[in-house]
């Protein structure tokens, strides 16, 4: 699978970061503008909303469906009122989920179908087998995994080759480097970092005085507590120093750093603002030299990031 250097994460248009000042039409226009600017990878999931984000992405991309890669995800169970009721990756659930996603996206195939979170109660071989069947039927083109550990990736890949892994990765969350990235390199699996801008923190637009609105998940994340933000400002200061030398922004340096790590990394920053979209995409044109990368590495090694990246109940859903 070949995609643009930087994709677009669409989750924030429907949830997680508080009320949007934009309308649904504004979001459709933003997605279509991303296409016009060369973006080919668009990320959504059935749980975003739930459901409404897939409908939004499907409508926005309908005129250019054959020019783009749509990635969506399965792996959550839902109550009758639409709220989450835990993880599930039973084969029968996967089959029902794909039909729902195809309908909401208005398409006949899903280009990249991720297991949203590894379900410890379901052998990963059965999950991979279920997706393999969907690929044989043409309803899915590629299998992906999210927040999966190295050993789990190996087991799944042995049943159905994994095209891409999606996990959080940025200058302030580097755990994938320990075990996951070496396995991806060995097996030829692409990597799609989500939250590549640290849920907005690495843009430099958030500080210790920032107040999060109702419905903003960052209000409950330990890493975004006021004292943690104050301590973690050192990461932003580092990015700002490099940015000043490159006539760039901290966000652009954060994304350029990711792109410089491996040629098969395609981050998916999200935004609801046209000017931020343009800023993010321009990061692909920034060249960080070996000296730049060495300076970032040396400086970041001296910084200890304060606070967990998720509340405890969400961290338990990861396989890392």
pLDDT at residue 20, rounded to an integer: 85
Domain layout of the chain by residue ranges: 8-315
Helix ranges (DSSP H) in the chain: 24-36, 52-61, 91-105, 124-136, 150-159, 180-187, 226-246, 250-261, 274-281, 290-300, 312-315
What distance in Å separates the CA atoms of residue 283 and residue 257, rounded to the nearest whole number? 9
The Cα angle at residue 143 between residues 142 and 146, in degrees rounded to 5 = 135
- Write out the two tokens for 274: 């046209």
What are the DSSP calls for 269-303, one per residue? -B-S-HHHHHHHHGGGG----HHHHHHHHHHHTT-
Residue with tokens 């997680």: 16
Per-residue pLDDT of the chain (320 residues; tens, 9 = 90+): 999 999 999 999 999 999 888 999 999 999 999 999 999 999 999 999 999 999 999 999 999 999 999 999 999 999 988 888 999 999 999 999 999 999 999 999 999 999 999 999 999 999 999 999 999 999 999 999 999 999 999 999 999 999 999 999 999 999 999 999 999 999 999 999 999 999 999 999 999 999 999 999 999 999 999 999 999 999 999 999 999 999 999 999 999 999 999 999 999 999 999 999 999 999 999 999 999 999 999 999 999 999 999 999 889 889 97
Q: Active-site residue among 17, 48, 114, 169?
A: 48
The predicted-structure confidence for 20-60, as pLDDT tens digits, reads as follows 889 999 999 999 999 999 999 999 999 999 999 999 999 99
Q: In what order do the strands lie in the sheet with 140-146?
A: 8-9, 41-43, 69-74, 110-115, 140-146, 162-168, 190-194
Contact call for residues 283 and 252 (beta carbons, < 8 A): yes
Contact call for residues 64 and 94 (beta carbons, < 8 A): no
The CATH H-level (homologous superfamily) assignment of domain 8-315 is NADP-dependent oxidoreductase domain (3.20.20.100)
Whether 310 is catalytic: no
pLDDT at residue 272, rounded to an integer: 96
Contact call for residues 39 and 5 (beta carbons, < 8 A): no
Residue with tokens 């379900």: 119
pLDDT at residue 82, rounded to an integer: 84
pLDDT at residue 19, rounded to an integer: 87
Reduced to 3 states (helix: H, G, I; strand: E, B; else coil), residue 72 is strand
């Amino acid at each position: 699978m070949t995609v643009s250097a930087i994709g677009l994460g669409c989750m924030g248009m429907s949830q997680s970061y508080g009320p949007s000042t934009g309308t649904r039409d504004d979001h459709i226009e933003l997605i279509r503008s991303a296409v016009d600017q060369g973006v080919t990878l668009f990320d959504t999931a059935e749980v975003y909303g739930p459901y409404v984000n897939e409908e939004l992405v499907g409508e926005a991309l309908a005129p250019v469906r054959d020019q783009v890669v749509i990635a969506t995800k399965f792996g959550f169970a839902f109550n009758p009122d639409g709220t989450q009721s835990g993880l599930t990756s039973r084969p029968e659930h996967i089959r029902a989920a794909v039909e729902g996603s195809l309908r909401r996206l208005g398409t006949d195939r899903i280009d990249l179908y991720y297991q949203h979170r590894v379900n410890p109660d379901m052998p990963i071989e059965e999950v991979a087998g279920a997706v393999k069947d969907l690929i044989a039927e043409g309803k899915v083109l590629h299998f992906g995994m999210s927040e999966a550990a190295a050993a789990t990736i190996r087991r799944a890949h042995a049943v159905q080759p994994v095209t891409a892994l999606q996990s959080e990765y940025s200058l302030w969350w580097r755990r994938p480097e320990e075990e996951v990235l070496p396995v991806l390199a060995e097996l030829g699996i692409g990597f799609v970092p989500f939250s590549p801008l640290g849920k907005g923190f690495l843009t430099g637009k958030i500080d210790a005085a920032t107040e999060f609105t109702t419905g903003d998940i960052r209000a409950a994340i330990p890493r975004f507590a006021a004292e943690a933000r104050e301590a973690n400002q050192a990461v932003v200061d580092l990015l700002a120093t490099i940015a000043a030398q490159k006539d760039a922004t901290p966000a652009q340096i954060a994304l350029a750093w990711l792109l410089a790590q491996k040629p098969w990394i395609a981050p998916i920053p999200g935004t609801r603002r046209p000017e931020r979209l343009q800023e993010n995409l321009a990061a692909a044109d920034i060249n960080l030299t070996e000296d730049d990368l060495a300076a970032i590495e040396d400086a970041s090694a001296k910084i200890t990031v304060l606070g967990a990246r998720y509340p405890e109940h969400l961290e338990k859903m990861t396989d890392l």
